[in-house]
Amino acid sequence: MQPSYLRPTYIEVDQQAIYHNVHEEKRRLNAETALFAVVKADAYGHGLIPVARVCQEAGATGFCVATIDEALALRAAQIAAPILVLGITSAQAAPVAAAQNISLTVGDQDWLDDASNFLSEVTDCPQLKIHFATDTGMGRIGFTDVVALHTTAIFVEESKYFTLEGIFTHFATADEKDTIYFEQQVAKFKLMLAALPKRPRYVHVANSATSLWHEACQCNMIRFGVAIYGLNPSGHALAAPYDLQPALSLFSELIFVKQIHAGDSVSYGATYTAQNDEWIGTIPIGYADGWLRRMSGMTVLIKGQRCPIVGRVCMDQIMVRLPEKFAVGEKVTLIGRDEADEITLQEVADYADTIHYEIVCDLHDRIPRHYLPRRED
């Protein structure tokens, strides 16, 4: 989608906050544990390349992405650190990954058989680094059978096309107070790990939630994700062990202000009707930007005052009820601080009955990202 630079709606990304969040987590790790920054989905909507560079400055030693295209974008930006693609990649892309020193996730023997055929067609192709995914209870991807995992590990040892660089699992409930299911997954992963003929370079189970609240499996790598961006992966359930600083704010401004009268309606479906004379302001953001229709009724901040969205969210605009006549051009805060008040991503997520991950990932690239510079140490 074409970024709208001449429209007054924009996202502000605080690079100092990102640096702080990564640096504080890095300080908690022992010297042998690597921190791979999870920058998939355009760094959770914060911007892939700028975030990756700040993470490296803060001590990240590698990166995790969801697709090989994201990994190739990092390589194109001259980022040489290790990269792991967490999702299953087409076996046809194996030669490209090998040539670019990109590690791929493997969840079964069939994928290796297919990839071997593609790798064999390339002269002097380097070995492809792979990580075994194990499904210990997430139900998503990975080996579920210990015997099959052992057999595949032997295959990889004997193959000239692959290097087993890592093994991992993903926890389904690491962000919850009840640890019973988490502990069951830990036990299953230990069985999987023991099935390998030898321990690979990276053994990793820790996403943000696990790294913040658990020590599991004596692993030597963490996949640090949503906490990079200052967001608590548990929502309200658990307190973070250190101050997570939110990195993203969302701003716009009033582009039109008018008075309506009792009985006048606003927006599609005429779902909002004024009971009295009211001042209505229009703001240039809508569901095409990721500010979805379920945000109707949510408040924004203008001059430090809460102003509710009235009527349905439109594709490109929303309307808010003002406490008085405000000037066109007045700044609007949808996420962030304005005077003594603040709207957090968690508050927006609570209102929308979802998680803050979804809110930030929904903010489309039509909204330009502005980056606040990091302070020098």
Residues 168 and 71 in one domain: yes
Can you give the pLDDT at residue 216? Answer: 61
pLDDT at 171 over 90: no
3-state secondary structure of 250: strand
Residues 146 and 278 in one domain: no
CATH number for the domain spanning 281: value is 2.40.37.10
Residue 40 annotated among the catalytic residues of the structure: yes
Helix residue ranges, H only, the chain: 15-28, 40-44, 48-58, 68-76, 94-99, 109-120, 146-158, 180-194, 208-213, 345-351, 356-362
Residue 268 annotated among the catalytic residues of the structure: yes
Predicted confidence band at 239 (pLDDT cuts at 50, 70, 90)?
confident
Check 258, 268, 325, 331 and give the catalytic one. Answer: 268
Q: Of the candidates 194, 186, 240, 189, which has an alpha carbon nearest to the alpha carbon of residue 213?
A: 240
Check 40, 129, 161, 287 and give the catalytic one. Answer: 40
pLDDT at 155 over 90: yes
Q: How many domains does the chain have?
A: 2
Residue 12 included in any domain: no
Residues 187 and 53 in one domain: yes
pLDDT at 323 over 70: yes
Residues 204 and 329 in one domain: no
Residues 66 and 211 in one domain: yes
Are residues 375 and 16 in contact, defined by beta-carbon separation less than 8 angstroms? yes
Residue 18 included in any domain: no
The one-letter amino acid code at 74 reads L
Burial class (CB in 10 A: 0-12, 13-18, 19+), 238: middle
Rounded CA-CA distance 261/297 in Å is 19
pLDDT at 5 over 80: yes
**pLDDT per position as a tens digit, 267-290:** 999 999 999 999 999 999 999 999
Residues 223 and 254 in one domain: no
Residues 139 and 277 in one domain: no
Rounded CA-CA distance 65/38 in Å is 6
pLDDT at 190 over 70: yes
Q: What is the pTM of this model?
A: 0.93
Q: Which residues span the domain enclosing 121? A: 32-229
Residue 86 included in any domain: yes
Residues 290 and 181 in one domain: no
Residues 171 and 305 in one domain: no
Final residue in a domain of this structure, among 177, 195, 229: 229
Final residue in a domain of this structure, among 195, 229, 263: 229
Residues 201 and 252 in one domain: no
Residues 200 and 275 in one domain: no
Can you give the pLDDT at residue 377? Answer: 60
What percent of the chain stands above pLDDT 90? 86
What percent of the chain stands above pLDDT 70? 99
Final residue in a domain of this structure, among 229, 257, 276: 229
Residues 256 and 199 in one domain: no
Are residues 296 and 309 in contact, defined by beta-carbon separation less than 8 angstroms? yes
**pLDDT per position as a tens digit, 39-92:** 999 999 999 999 999 999 999 999 999 999 999 999 999 999 999 999 999 999
Rounded CA-CA distance 250/300 in Å is 10
Residue 17 included in any domain: no
Angle at 341 between CA 337 and CA 345, to 5 degrees: 55
Rounded CA-CA distance 279/59 in Å is 50
